[in-house]
Amino acid sequence: MRVGLFAHRLAQRGPTGISRYVRELVRALGEAAGSQVELVLASTREAEPANWIPPSVRTHVLPWPRRSVQAAWCLGAGPRLERSLGRVDVAHLITTFPPVKTAAPQLVTVHDVMPFEHPEWYPRLERLIFRRDAELVLRRARRIVVPSVYVADRLVALLGADSARIETVPHGVSGTFTGAQREHDIAATCARFGVAPGRFAVCVGWVATRKNLIPVIRAIAQLRGQRIPLVLVGPDGHGAETVDAEIARLDGTVRVLRTGFLSDEETAALVRGAGVLLHPSLGEGFGLVPLEAMAVGTAVIAARASSVPEVVGDAAVLIDQPLEPKAWGDALMDVMGSTERRAELAAAGEQWAATFSWERAARTMLQIYDDVARD
């Protein structure tokens, strides 16, 4: 069986979110696929080659001009994948953008439908492109792969997708968040950012409107008797200027450190070193950040929103009123004020996170490829 994988921006620097999903899944597929499966990863031309792709996965650069062919695909036109890649038994679009044309049986991963749920979180052009892409891929795909039951339900409710064609394949936890790190390295990373291990809170992800960071910043500013530094790890997203304005407004009452994008190794060290990971996000197709924090033994407080309760189970503290600073402040004091409570959450989190693996996700995907090829 020859499987054509297509992804956008394979060589992207500073991968987050979907880009991390692409890398982890492709690596796991490369390890799980036997000699009867040929995996070919295709993308349009980029300025530099991707250096993370395992040798067991062939790569193919499509020769067409990047922007013009993507525009054509978004209009429902453009060349078929096979014109350059050759025959494939199954084509897997690992992201909805761009909606590549192919004559092969097709499946697509839909990571979330947030532009439909919360259009105010996205620029107008992004909303229009997502809507067009979703229409095309849902019409063409034999199977739709989603990371959570939450996304599956929203696809049916908002876009009228056929539930019989939807496959839920949860993410795993990357090796960086499962392997051990030396205490010296964790302490050194914490020191570099001016925080003491166990005595700070961390948030990881885009600094953006949907991440709901302002209630958390206000909560920490309102804590009495404790000054808990907050470390924000992640690049600027839509609405980052609002977060920066709130940090400036509360200057002197809260200590917030913005690191920008960090490597997985640096991020894992800060998450391991934190007393608690806060995840106030109001929209996630899959809550990978809290899951990875649990995997390294860090207590998690998260918003009871979107897919997050499904992903963290009973191993995290969930906030029922995520827009209320007091709710975050009360939970933070409860967890940071009790060594026993943190240890209890850490143990439960590690046990729960161990049930998620990229190897399992890859083996499930290989079975789906086989089923689609045989349809």
d(CA 41, CA 57): 7
Find out whether 299 and 277 touch, Cβ atoms under 8 Å: yes
With contact defined as beta carbons under 8 Å apart, do 145 and 365 qualify?
yes
Residues of the domain holding 300: 176-353
Note whether 159 and 21 are same-domain residues: yes
For residue 277, give Cα distances in angstroms to 11, 290, 350: 29, 7, 14
pLDDT 10s digits, 8-32: 889 888 777 888 999 999 999 999 9
Q: Quickly state the pLDDT bin for 63 (edges 50, 70, 90).
A: very high
Mean pLDDT of the chain: 93
| This prediction's pTM | 0.93
Q: At what angle do helices 124-140 and 149-159 cross, to 10 degrees?
A: 90
235 and 145 together in one domain: no
- Assess whether 229 and 154 both reside in one domain: no
DSSP H helices, 38-123, are 66-74, 82-85, 114-117
Whole-angstrom Cα distance, residue 375 to residue 286?
Answer: 29
pLDDT of residue 215: 98
28 close to 362: Cβ distance less than 8 angstroms: yes
Q: Per-residue pLDDT for 224 more than 80?
A: no
Q: Say how far apart CA 70 and CA 260 lie, in whole Å.
A: 29
Inter-CA distances, 278 with 11, 202, 359, Å: 30, 6, 27
**Do 52 and 11 fall into the same domain?**
yes
Cα separation of 43 and 9, whole Å?
7
Q: Is 287 in the same domain as 366?
A: no
Amino acid 353: pLDDT: 96
At 218, the pLDDT band (50, 70, 90 cuts) reads: very high
Same domain membership, residue 319 and residue 284:
yes
Overall domain count for the chain: 2
Query: Is there a single domain that holds both residue 150 and residue 265?
Result: no
Amino acid at 125: L
Report the pLDDT averaged over residues 311-324. 97
Q: What is the three-class DSSP state of 195? A: coil
Give the residue-averaged pLDDT of 314-341.
Answer: 96
Same domain, 164 and 33: yes
CATH number, position 165? 3.40.50.2000
Judge if 183 and 155 occupy the same domain. no
Taking a C-beta distance cutoff of 8 angstroms, is the pair 118, 37 a contact?
no
Which residue in 320, 316, 314, 275 sits closest to 294, CA to CA? 316
